[in-house]
Amino acid sequence: MPGDRLSQEVNTSAGRLTRFDPIPSWVKSVPMQVAIVTGASSGIGFGTAVKLAGMSMAVLGVGRDEKRLGELAQAIGEPARAATLAVDLTLDAAPKQVVDLALSRWGRIDFLINNAGVGSPKPLHETDDQTLDHFLGLMLRSPFRMAREAIAHMKQDAAIINVTSTFAHVGGLRGGAYSAAKAGLTGLTQHIACQYGASGIRCNAVAPGVTVTPMTEGRLQDERFRRMNVEMTPHTRLGRVEDVASTIAFLCSPGGSFINGQTIVVDGGWSSTKYLSDFALTSAWTAR
């Protein structure tokens, strides 16, 4: 590895992010750990994969976009510690294919990051069965099956981190099938923590608020959506990929080793306060 401090920056479709933070001293004292990150071709998944690689882990990045996965491998920069797989995770054969690749490359699985998702949901009355099945298939059925496949190969001190959403905790407008899938993933997180925690396998969820990624860039152009998030967040900015990736990395570190069955919300206070900005408080009201 080229030195103990890797702080290069990488240009991604989600913007510019720090490639590797200083490697903590504890990393050098443990065998190389292996992480699987789904939805790794962009946004939070890409940033998380790079972050974990910076902790000297081997990382298998899973996504649909082969070109962007190639960019991920280049960002990690060490072929011995990077593998990618372009696959549709909703396919029945996908979880075994992912797990088999990790085991064939490195012989172990320490962390599973279930991050793959899709946005732009519709409210209940506008959601057809095809959309419902797609959202539940990708963001609930797939993580369930990935966890089921991976957990058989996990040992003590392993962990599963499920990326959920603030919409799993509050009644989000237009949440529909997205809210249902993410809330279900919260329930799965708690079950895994209870069932397997005594065997040394932890499970937690990270619930981002609106984070600036390729998936949200379009929606942030919508004035109503932007106001709902910017003017109701008691912070100076919206969330960044690094905010979420750092939280996931913490849950994979010794510092997070006694955290189990929890959801860490990363939203700048959006979901836990009734904040309104001065702009929102002084704006004219429009009758519904």
Catalytic residue positions, numbered: 178
From CA 264, how far away is CA 251, in angstroms rounded?
A: 10
CA 211 to chain centre: 11
Asked whether the CA dihedral 83, 86, 90, 91 is positive or negative, the reply is: negative
Helix (H, G, I), strand (E, B) or coil at 191: helix
From CA 25, how far away is CA 221, in angstroms rounded?
A: 43
H helices of 63-221, where? Answer: 66-76, 94-106, 129-136, 142-151, 176-196, 214-217
H helices of the chain, where? Answer: 43-53, 66-76, 94-106, 129-136, 142-151, 176-196, 214-217, 223-230, 241-251, 278-282
| Torsion angle of the four alpha carbons 38, 41, 43, 47, in this order, in degrees rounded to the nearest 10 | 80
User: Crossing angle, helix 129-136 and helix 176-196, to 10 degrees?
Assistant: 30
